Amino acid sequence: MSQEIERKFLVTGEGWRALAPAVTYRQGYLSLDKERTVRVRTAGERAYLCVKGITRGCTRLEFEYEIPMADALEMLEKLAIRPIIEKNRTRAEVNGRIWEIDEFFGENAGLVIAEVELPDETVPLVKPDWIGKEVSDDPRYYNACLQSAPYASWPENQPKDH
């Protein structure tokens, strides 16, 4: 059985940008069922199909398989639910942990989230100085939710009438 134990945080400042080069990701969902999601993703020159179970705390089942790029592109074009999520991912080791920082574009522009996978939900975590508020328990920040309710549509991100 494959498990993912992941914590998510908002990113503050720009200190993370110099850590490593970013890779462009495009991903679309083939299923957004509450109990499971099925995602197709391109990451640079590689492509993946991923099935994830429901999140309990910071843990969920996850199965990911590399697939041919041509298959991924066709699934994104012909099968994926719109909109497609587009982001740049910076992956870097900081304080002994691998952090993935996602800077979103399109309908999620303005959102930057850092994720760190852990061997156990209770493991102590030393956070880099560019880490802000933890959002692990807020489902709005899951990529599958960002697909159906993009960051730009959130009430707090709407223009205010003066």
For 31-156, where are the alpha helices, taking DSSP H only?
69-78, 143-148
Residues in the chain: 162
48-51 long-range Cβ contacts below 8 angstroms, 24+ apart: 48/72, 49/75
- The single residue of 29, 141, 142, 151 carrying the catalytic annotation is 29
Backbone torsions φ then ψ of 133, nearest 5 degrees: -60, 140
29 is catalytic: yes
Tokens of 16: 């993370």
- Asked if 42 and 25 touch (Cβ cutoff 8 Å), the reply is yes
Tokens of 62: 């996850």
Residue type, 118: L
Q: How far apart are CA 95 and CA 25, in angstroms?
A: 25
- Asked if 151 and 104 touch (Cβ cutoff 8 Å), the reply is yes
Which active-site residues does the annotation give?
A: 29
